[in-house]
Amino acid sequence: MWRLLRPDSVSIWKNEEVRKRLSHYRAILLGKRPPKYRVVKKMYVDFNVDDSLKELLKIHRKASEEFKGLYRDIVNDVMSLEELDEGDKSFLDLKTLLLKKIIKECMLCEWRCGVNREKGERGVCGLNSTVRVASAFLHLGEEAPLVPSGTIFFTGCSFKCVFCQNWDISTRPENGVAVSPRELAEIATRLYLEGARNINYVGGNPDQQLHIIVESLKYMDVNVPLLWNSNMYMSIESLAILVDLVDIWLPDFKYGNNECALKLSKIPRYFEVVSRNHRIACRNGDMIIRHLVLPGHIECCTKPILKWIAEHCPQTLVNIMEQYRPEHLVLRYPHKYPSIARRVHGDELQEAYRYADQLGICWRPVS
């Protein structure tokens, strides 16, 4: 059915640039290599559950380097996944333990609230340690190489975007259904068996749910790429845990400066955090960067972002999104946000496209 509704999801692979830029993701789809998480699960790492967070992070840094070599060997057929000797403690166990400690003084994202979510405390995202799924289905509306995407929508978000299109789940963390790690793995496995090309963790935002998502991988063993669909405001510690697990990144790059981010999403230090995370992530997996063009924000946001991508992540695909419409608070109080209380004009989009072409950015196949 999805082939009829989205024929471009098949024809996209004729595009040489897409094949080259998504070569890791495609190799997993073709069964030529395992997704990273299956190797992480089988890689032995020695650690003690009573080690301090600092010590565990140190062990994790070293293990992450070892993982890169191991994964390279598997890709190059020097060894196979089956040959890996599973011990009583895995790299995945280490990541799971780290996250259990991190949420006790939460620093999953750069708000670094320091609350004990395990004891029920809540920070800026409004979430305690329970993870809730608002919906999960085969998404046919994503970028062509991703369709059908096994999309899992979580509740809660670290951003407070005044134009949020998913405000019903991002601003209401109590919506949806609470899931255990095992139940989350069952949802992901079901999506894969129904034909998902990837498991797409999104929300809201998925970074706040990292502790349960990582633990769920223990109960999953299917050959599906993991996709991280995030606002990229995760902490450097969360990012370090993610880079060994994520096969394809689908980040939002919203603002080209801190002032617009603070005004429209109530986020401090946006540009330094989000650009840092993009830079690290694009070197650790395939990536399609999404940029939603905002009305009146071509010079302050769209152009600086495109320029940054051309300089720091030139190998990525970019989706220049034109579908902005006033939503949420902008729709309710247009007088408060007059500059974005309209759709994007055609000439603004043309200027964004022209500038992307001038920079040599690869955007046409996925926009």
Q: Is 123 in the site for ligand SF4 (CB under 6 A)?
A: yes
Q: Is 125 in the site for ligand SF4 (CB under 6 A)?
A: yes
Q: Is 208 in the site for ligand SF4 (CB under 6 A)?
A: yes
Size of the site for ligand SF4 (CB under 6 A): 14
Angle (nearest 5°) at CA 24 between 196 and 232: 75
Q: Is 115 in the site for ligand SF4 (CB under 6 A)?
A: yes
Q: Is 112 in the site for ligand SF4 (CB under 6 A)?
A: yes
Q: Is 106 in the site for ligand SF4 (CB under 6 A)?
A: yes
SS (H, E, C) the chain: CHHHHCCHHHHHHHCHHHHHHCHHHHHHHCCCCCCHHHHHHHCECCCCCCCCHHHHHHHHHHHHHHHHHHHHHHHCCCCCHHHCCCCCCEHHHHHHHHHHHHHHHCCCECCCCCCCHHHCCCCCCCCCCCEEEEEEEEECCCCHHHCCEEEEEECCCCCCCCCCCCHHHHCCCCCCEEECHHHHHHHHHHHHHCCCCEEEEECCCCHHHHHHHHHHHHHCCCCCCEEECCCCCECHHHHHHHCCCCCEECCECCCCCHHHHHHHHCCCCHHHHHHHHHHHHHCCCEEEEEEECCCCCHHHHHHHHHHHHHHHCCCCEEEEECCCCCCHHHHHCCCCCHHHCCCCCHHHHHHHHHHHHHHCCECHHHC
Cβ-closest position to ligand SF4:
123
Q: Is 113 in the site for ligand SF4 (CB under 6 A)?
A: yes
Least spacing, CB of residue 361 vs ligand SF4, in Å: 31
Return the number of the residue (98 or 127) whose C-beta is nearest ligand SF4: 127
Return the number of the residue (166 or 319) whose C-beta is nearest ligand SF4: 166
Q: Is 111 in the site for ligand SF4 (CB under 6 A)?
A: yes
Among residue numbers 230 through 289, which ones bind ligand SF4 (CB under 6 A)?
none
Least spacing, CB of residue 236 vs ligand SF4, in Å: 13
Please report which helix (H) or strand (E) contains residue 183, including its range. Answer: helix 181-193
Least spacing, CB of residue 158 vs ligand SF4, in Å: 4
User: Contacting ligand SF4 (CB under 6 A), which of 99, 107, 133, 289?
Assistant: 107
Among residue numbers 147 through 186, which ones bind ligand SF4 (CB under 6 A)?
158
Least spacing, CB of residue 124 vs ligand SF4, in Å: 4
User: Contacting ligand SF4 (CB under 6 A), which of 22, 39, 92, 124?
Assistant: 124
Least spacing, CB of residue 128 vs ligand SF4, in Å: 9
Of 118-126, 215-223, 254-262, 274-282, the window that binds ligand SF4 (rule: CB under 6 A) is: 118-126
Return the number of the residue (37 or 111) whose C-beta is nearest ligand SF4: 111
Return the number of the residue (105 or 183) whose C-beta is nearest ligand SF4: 105
Binding site for ligand SF4 (CB under 6 A): 106-109, 111-113, 115, 123-125, 127, 158, 208
